[in-house]
């Protein structure tokens, strides 16, 4: 597994989260002069987006994120996004947060699967960051935060070899391999089957730097071409006109990672049978997991960098519903498998010896379930551990 995968996973999932929240906030916002105190306005939407993006690109948080480290479990990262989604006045209940995370993960999984080259994962990431910069174009301070991360990405990744990008792509696919959640947009566009698996195209542009298939060249031991054989293909392939830009500004050419919610349409998610079966095995083994302490320390470091500013005074948080009606949201909460539910965990990372000692004491008393066979063994049942905090 690649030790350079975590920043790309976090930024792309974060970009998808912002796309969804922006679309839902726009759909539910009311003109300011007509809105009641408990209703969303466009001013509230901009405030939520600014607060989340400010928190997401916090300098200390980014420094911790970019340190070379193994990719951690789905539940560990989910906890970070729970915290991030509540970094403003917006509040999501359990069912809406589940749906939000499902949409984020399946969208990025599809983008990783469709990348023509492993290196093009960077172009997907740049598309997300370009869109995020557009969200905060009227806030120079926040825009500068995003640009700093942009430069850090270029410095860290653009010098990596094709082999290293292939390892990053493989690490991402391993992370997503058991996730088969059906999304209405993908089902309607016929890019996802009813079992939640994606349908990959056999036509379109070939990767940059490669040729359209249909020709076999045969060389002798001296390296001279001695024969050519042509063959027909089932796909309709074309050569890309140009390579996407890997600079701070430029045409990315690749459209993967752009905002698919820019045209408003309802988005539903449904658990496939295989995902439910995986969830049913989550509590089979309850032996202590020696990697749990490492996993929780990782979360403490990450979440310590997320400086959340809670609503002050008498201000209350606004509730955002990702479902069409409150009844649908309540039904989703009741039918969601218990093993797939998560809680928002607040961990304060501090250098004070007393607090560090207290965290160590708590960790020493906790038991964590072993991951089910075939998992990575790194905190698959982390949330069972966190329930005791």
d(CA 52, CA 18): 8
Handedness of CA 351, 355, 359, 360 (dihedral sign): positive
How many Cα atoms are found within 13 Å in the side-chain-facing hemisphere of 360? 8
Task: Answer yes or no: is pLDDT of 385 > 50.
Answer: no
**What is the percent of the chain where pLDDT is above 70?**
65
pLDDT in tens, 93-127: 888 888 999 999 999 999 999 999 999 999 999 99
d(CA 53, CA 202): 37
Q: What is the pTM of this model?
A: 0.73
d(CA 261, CA 254): 17
Assess contact for 199 and 191: CB atoms under 8 A.
yes
Average pLDDT over every residue of 304-330: 57
Report the candidate in 175, 377, 362, 363 with the shortest Cα–Cα distance to residue 285: 377
**What is the percent of the chain where pLDDT is above 90?**
40
Which of 42-46, 172-176, 324-328 holds the top average pLDDT? 172-176
Task: Name the least confident of 87-91, 133-137, 139-143.
Answer: 87-91
Assess contact for 21 and 90: CB atoms under 8 A.
yes
Question: What pLDDT shows up at residue 154?
Answer: 95
How many Cα atoms are found within 13 Å in the side-chain-facing hemisphere of 171? 21
């Amino acid at each position: 597994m690649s030790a350079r995968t975590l920043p790309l996973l976090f930024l792309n999932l974060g970009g998808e989260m912002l796309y969804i929240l922006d679309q839902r906030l726009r759909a539910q916002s009311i003109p300011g002069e007509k809105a009641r105190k408990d209703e969303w306005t466009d001013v509230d939407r901009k405030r939520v987006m600014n607060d989340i993006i400010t928190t997401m690109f916090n300098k200390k948080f980014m420094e911790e994120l970019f340190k070379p480290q193994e990719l951690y479990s789905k539940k560990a990262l989910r906890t970070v996004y729970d915290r991030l989604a509540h970094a403003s006045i917006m509040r999501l209940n359990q069912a809406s947060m589940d749906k939000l995370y499902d949409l984020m993960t399946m969208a990025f999984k599809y983008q990783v699967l469709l990348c023509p080259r492993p290196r093009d994962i960077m172009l997907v990431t740049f598309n997300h960051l370009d869109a995020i910069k557009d969200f905060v174009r009227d806030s120079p301070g926040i825009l500068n935060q995003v640009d700093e991360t942009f430069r850090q990405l270029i410095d860290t990744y653009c010098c990596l070899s094709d082999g290293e990008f292939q390892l990053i792509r493989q690490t991402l696919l391993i992370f997503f391999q058991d996730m088969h959640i059906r999304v209405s947009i993908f089902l309607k566009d016929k890019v996802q089957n009813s079992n939640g698996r994606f349908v990959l195209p056999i036509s379109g542009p070939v990767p940059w730097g490669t040729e359209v298939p249909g020709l076999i060249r045969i060389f002798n031991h001296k390296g001279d071409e001695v024969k050519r054989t042509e063959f027909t293909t089932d796909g309709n392939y074309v050569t890309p006109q140009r390579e996407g830009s890997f600079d701070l500004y430029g045409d990315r050419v690749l459209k993967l990672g752009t905002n698919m919610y820019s045209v408003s349409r309802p988005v539903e998610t449904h658990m496939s049978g295989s995902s439910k079966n995986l969830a049913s095995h989550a509590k089979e083994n309850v032996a202590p997991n020696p990697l749990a302490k490492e996993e929780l320390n990782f979360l403490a470091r990450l979440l310590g960098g997320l400086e959340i500013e809670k609503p002050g005074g008498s201000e209350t948080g606004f509730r955002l519903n990702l479902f069409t009606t409150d009844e649908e949201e309540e039904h989703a909460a009741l039918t969601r498998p218990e093993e797939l539910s998560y809680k928002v965990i607040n961990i304060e990372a501090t250098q004070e010896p007393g607090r560090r000692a207290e965290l160590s004491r708590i960790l020493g008393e906790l038991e964590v379930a072993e991951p089910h066979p075939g998992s990575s063994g790194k905190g698959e049942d982390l949330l069972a551990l966190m329930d005791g905090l």
